[in-house]
Structure 1
Amino acid sequence: MSNAISSPPAMRGPADHDVRAQIVVAATEHFSRYGYEKTTVSDLAKAIGFSKAYIYKFFESKQAIGEMICANCLREIGADIRAAVDGADRPPEKLRRMFKAIVDSSLRLFSQDRKLYEIAISAASERWQSAIAHEECIRQLLVEVLKQGRESGDFERKTPIDEMAAAIYLVMHPYINPLMLQHSFAHTDQAPVQLSGLVLRSLSP
């Protein structure tokens, strides 16, 4: 898994990265203050000082702007998860740290900015490409750890690895998907330890 969590959404207009970045920064601030769902492209244009038509030269829709913001957030989360996994030597500890990093990074996104978290909820519920790519990268990292565990003799080898990865991902999913995470806050203190412990016992050779 690379550190790039998702590909940027399709963009229009000239390749002027400075203007595009300016729009994203201003939109992030505006969404943080007023919320994603309640903001229109006209609202953004007025806040930024650009015309609505000018914004459409760079982004085809409000969702395209939201996707860029979401991709930036998910890229940070993905980098945190990768760093946690790479920081461990043995596959069992990699898996433990993966569980913990998923919960910690997801909670950080929620606690830092509730209104930006609404963008993540929209991304998950509407299946934006940035959210799909993020989930796929986590699956790929999980498969990578499981393969390492089989090679080292830490994990059993009888169960098909795709089946094993799919089952473990389902255990992780309530803490990956922001729609489900908001219903799991009561368990976030103990969940990484308890769930990773249960999974690791099931993986014992």
Structure 2
Amino acid sequence: MSTSVPLTPERILEAAEETLRRFGPAKTTVVDVARALGVSHGSVYRHFPTKADLRDAVVDRWLQRMHPALAAVADGAGPAPERLRLLLWTLAETKWERAQDDPEFFSAFAELAEDARAPVVAHIDFVVARLTQVTAEGVARGEIASADPEATARALFDATARFHHPAGRSAWVRPRIDASFEGVWDLLRTGLLPRDSG
């Protein structure tokens, strides 16, 4: 088994995604991924020493694709409360769309993510850091009341989990989920606003 195209981690991950999409996590093996690439499974193991490493890399790659859009919102202009809403909305809507457009891989991702703790924790930390950034800016400008922007950011993430955690995907039916998000956000936004001192 040989190929003229260099075997790179990126090619392996592309093949792994396609294999997972077809067979699901339970039935996918490193041998299946290697076969799809036309290489030996030993060649795959040179890049990913274990099956768990390969699975973690697939989950990490999928989650990393969301980060540029989230960073763009965090670094954007406008009032902090509205940017927080847009950050959470972008996170949720991206997952809703992927669950609908590619249900086979989304189901595989959801199953893998339960065991891929390091990539999932890194993703959550990334999102919370962006929420913290915007919350802190809002506090500095008097738009948000928070004694601890990071704690507030984690609370926002946790409070909206049903809209972005894969375990909640059975409820992601539009337009009902959109209205539900807006209802939750209205409550959260009210809690973020500074109170009149007088």
Question: Normalised by the shorter chain, which TM-score bucket?
Answer: 0.7 to 0.9
For residue 27 of structure 1, give the secondary structure of its aligned residue in structure 2: helix
Distance in structure 2 (CA, Å) of the matches to 1:27 and 1:39: 8
Structure 1 match to 2:148:
160
Deviations 1:27-51 (A, max 9, x none): 2222222222211112222232211
Q: Is the 2:80–2:138 Cα contact (8 Å) retained in structure 1?
A: yes
Question: What residue identity is the alignment partner of 2:10?
Answer: A
Give the distance between the partners of 2:123 and 2:192, measured in 1 at CA: 25
CA spacing shift, 1:134–1:183, aligned 2, 3 Å: same
Deviation at 1:69, TM superposition (A): 2.3
Aligned partners of 2:74 and 2:131 also within 8 Å? no
Asked if 1:50 corresponds to 2:54, the answer is: no
Q: Which amino acid aligns with 2:187?
A: L
- Aligned partner of 2:135 in structure 1 is 146
The counterpart of 1:190, out of the listed 174, 179, 185, is: 179
Query: Following the alignment from structure 1 to structure 2, what is the Cα–Cα distance between the partners of residues 199 and 123?
Result: 31
Structure 1 unaligned regions, length at least 5: 1-16
Q: How many residues align?
A: 188
**Change in CA separation of 1:130 and 1:119 when aligned onto 2, cut-off 3 Å:** farther
Larger Rg: 2
| 2:109 aligned with 1:134 | no
Shift in Å, 1:133: 0.3
Partner of 1:65: 54
Matches within 5 A, 1:96-111: 96-111=85-100
| Paired position in structure 1 for 2:27 | 38
Aligned equivalents of 1:91, 1:49: Cα separation in 2: 50
Cα distance in structure 1, aligned partners of 2:32 and 2:127: 35
Q: TM-score, normalised by structure 2?
A: 0.83
| C-alpha deviation, 1:119, in angstroms | 3.6
Kindly indicate whether the alpha-carbon contact (under 8 Å) linking 1:150 and 1:156 is maintained by their aligned counterparts in 2: yes
Structure 2: give runs of 5+ residues left out of the alignment: 1-5
CA RMSD in angstroms comes to: 2.2
Alpha-carbon separation, structure 2, partners of 1:165 and 1:190:
22
TM-score normalized with structure 1 length? 0.81
Query: In the aligned structure 2, how far is the partner of 1:184 from the partner of 1:127?
Result: 23
2:160 is matched with 172
The share of aligned pairs that are identical, in percent, is 22
Paired with 2:53 and 2:42, the residues of 1 have a C-alpha distance of 15
Structure with greater contact order relative to length (CA < 8 Å, sep ≥ 6): 1
Aligned-residue offset at 1:141: 1.0
